[in-house]
Amino acid sequence: MICAPSGGDCLKVSFCPAFSLQKKKRAAGGKNGKGVRAVSALLLPNEILSMSAQAARLLVESGDGDGALLYLALLECGGDQGRASARLRWEDGRLYPAWQRLAALGLAQPPQDAPPPSPQPDARPPEYTRGDVAAALEKEPEFRGLCREMEGMLGRVFTDSDLRCLYTMYDHLGLSVEVILLLTGWTVRRERRRKNNPAACPRMPQIQREAFKWKRLGVDTLDRAEGYLRRQEAVDQREWEILQAVGVPERRPAVEKEREFISAWVEMGLSGELIRLAYERTVYQKKEMSWPYMNKILQSWHKAGYQTAAQVEAGDRPPQRQSRPAPGQPRDFQPSQERIQKNNDWLDQFLEEQKKGGS
């Protein structure tokens, strides 16, 4: 099922199965461009996919190519998860992580019956010896430089155990030096915030656990790491506000499970007043705070398009979301025939001007 992010403009994505025919017509047109008008002829109502601008921004910022392809497959298949998975013909080890990353972005729900990826035979990290690490320090200048940088960031000389942890991230996980340094900086900042101590530093096993988490999430390139950290910083900015909204009396960092829920709510763009109302209803119904129960309330409001507490209480929906599709079906953002014709006329005029300018 496709989850449409609230807010933002709607992008029209042209999906033309006859693209190869279009290229042949262009080629046949030669320099005079007689085949160019085939472009607008292919922009028919049934051949246009719609994507919200917010969804496009999330996909671009994540740097996740597989996630973007899966999202496009979902749009093409009308939100049918099984058809989208079959359309891509990926192995489970590639498909399921892409589902999880789309879910983390709030853009899709993974299939309910999808089994987790089967563990790979080499998933367990190798047990590097002191000799393995010493050889890497001697023969790999990049790893040697990384070691010096890490010691400077953490303010200590590495032990044999520290070096094995670092080499596991570098060699076994295959993370680049840039990604490892970003990951370490993020882990240091988080540890200092949690302990409210500007001098606190995590131990290498903590950094290694975070590295395995990033690898599972597909955060294994510089672009993906930067996008992931931007999203985490957005969560940091609202974490205490949301904790207050759910009745936490004293300032403290969220524990890991709380932060998972908070991250999802921030990704959905939920306001503080909406979160507070969900908390009040949760306590009224359950007689205590329940994060999973409250999360279900907020998910249902988000799917209905509610953005304010007034909309929830009045049972109203925003003007741009007046109808809901059947379960599992994407929302209908198709433009009118008049709008399509207007865009086609503009495209024809633009191409004609380009042809004249190039002649």
Nearest to 165 by CA among 134, 199, 125: 125
Q: What percent of the chain has pLDDT over 90?
A: 40
Higher pLDDT, 83 or 228: 228
User: Are 49 and 111 spatial neighbours (Cβ–Cβ below 8 Å)?
Assistant: no
Q: How far is CA 76 from the centre of its chain?
A: 19
> Is residue 157 over pLDDT 90?
yes
Binned at pLDDT 50, 70 and 90, residue 304 comes out as: confident
Which residues have C-beta within 8 Å of that of residue 17, sequence separation ≥ 6?
A: 47
Residue 224: pLDDT over 50: yes
Helix axes of 177-195 and 222-245: crossing angle, nearest 10 degrees: 20
- pLDDT of residue 19 exceeding 50: no
DSSP state of 339: H
How many Å apart are CA 349 and CA 355, to the nearest integer? Answer: 10
Q: Distance (Å, rounded) from C-alpha 230 to C-alpha 304?
A: 27
Cα gap 166→188, rounded to integer Å: 15
Evaluate if residue 303 carries a pLDDT over 80. yes
Q: What are the pLDDT digits (tens) for 258-284? A: 999 999 999 889 999 999 999 999 999
Q: Are 97 and 125 in contact (CB under 8 A)?
A: no
pLDDT surpasses 70 at 76: yes
